[in-house]
Structure 1
Amino acid sequence: MTSTQTVVLGTIGSDAHAVGITLLEHALREGGFEVYNLGAQTPQSAFVTEADERDADAILVSSLYGHARQDCEGFHDRLAAADVDAVTFIGGNLAVGQTTFESVRQEFHEMGFDRVFGTEVGFDEVVKSLRETVNNAPERADEQTGAQTEPTRLRS
């Protein structure tokens, strides 16, 4: 990377899981990113404000309690209203019930997320994917459907 890229990271909504995002924060810093960790139980508005104030290149949203869809409804509308043009990743245990990860991934792509991970992908893979996505941000709309070839998930 030629310059430090800025990442806003946090657990959205009512989700109180914080260990995974703290470990991911360390992996991102080691990967050369400037990271602002908003912690657990973060409202959408805090992600938007922080990303706007930091001119973030990326926003990473974590959710492990299975209600990410509800917590993320309208998130990209808020980002657009604030003129925030960061790439967006989401990962974790995003849905409860009997559904395939591919249908969950598709749903979150349709909501506007550039990359969608489940619970078992390694932090190194997230860092690598983020670097590739941020470096190719002008083309990111073309990458949405081919982001990951197999179901992957973030560790908590």
Structure 2
Amino acid sequence: MGKKTIVLGVIGADCHAVGNKILDYSLTAAGYDVVNIGVLSPQEDFINAAIETDAAVIMVSSLYGHGEIDCRGMREKCDEAGLKGIKLYVGGNIVVGKQDFQEVKQRFLKMGFDRVYPPGTTVETALKDLREDLGFAEVIGA
């Protein structure tokens, strides 16, 4: 089985790069092919990168609180672009203000995201979910 590709980036006008780099390093070390589109990325950049690389997952990060606005319509755009089965993950500080995370999660699931992570989620949690969703064993520690 070949490596699964993940498109990773920080959506919208968000320039928080440190967590993005940590995810890139951790996912790569776990055996995934990571295409990191960086920060300040519109939905179209994620989608175009996923098309070009035949990605299995788009992983969206947002820390400045406007992720809900930035992510609206992304599932529909993926479907229109021929990415109907792609997994969509989102995490970070994805809404403005202190809101109940379970309510936030439900809104993102209704928007078509497969996995929704609150601030402080460990990389190990995402790796476990990736293995579950993609059926891919880690290279490190395998």
Same fold at TM > 0.5? yes
Q: Tell me the CA shift for residue 98 of structure 1.
A: 3.5
Measured in 2, the distance between the counterparts of 1:123 and 1:98 equals: 23
On the 8 A contact 1:93/1:118 being kept in 2, the answer is: yes
Deviation at 1:132, TM superposition (A): 1.1
**Structural mapping, 1:11-26, within 5 Å:** 11-26=10-25
Counterpart position of 2:139: none
CA-to-partner distance for each residue in 1:65-121, whole Å, 9 max, x for gaps? Answer: 111111011111110111113101000001112320000000000000000001111
2:118 & 2:72 partners in 1: Cα distance?
18
Q: Which amino acid in the other structure matches residue 59 of structure 2?
A: L
2:113 corresponds in structure 1 to: 113
**Could you tell me which amino acid in structure 2 is paired with residue 53 of structure 1?**
E
1:56 is aligned to 2:47:
no
The yes-or-no answer on 1:90 pairing with 2:60 is no
Q: Could you list the runs of 5+ residues in structure 2 that have no partner in the other structure?
A: 137-142
Contact 1:24 1:123 in 2 (8 A): yes
For residues 8-59 of structure 1, give each alpha carbon's deviation from its aligned partner in whole angstroms, at most 9, with x where no partner exists: 0000011111110110011101111000000001011000100011110001
Map of 1:122 onto structure 2: 122
TM-score (norm 1): 0.83
Which residue number corresponds to residue 151 of structure 1? none
Q: Give the letter for the 1:134 counterpart.
A: L
Amino acid aligned to 2:42: P
Structure 1 CA distance for aligned equivalents of residues 119 and 40 of structure 2? 18
Q: 2-side partners of 1:128 and 1:32: how far apart?
A: 13
State the AA in 2 paired with 1:12: I
Counterpart residue number, 2:79: 80
TM-score with structure 2 length normalisation? 0.91
The amino acid that maps onto 1:74 is: G
Identity level (%): 41
Aligned partners of 1:128 and 1:31: how far apart in 2? 11
Kindly report structure 1 stretches of 4+ aligned residues shifted beyond 3 Å: none
Matched to 1:35, the amino acid is: V
Q: In the alignment, is the contact (CA less than 8 A) between 1:67 and 1:95 conserved in 2?
A: yes
Q: CA RMSD in A?
A: 1.2
Structure 1: gaps (5+ residues): 137-156
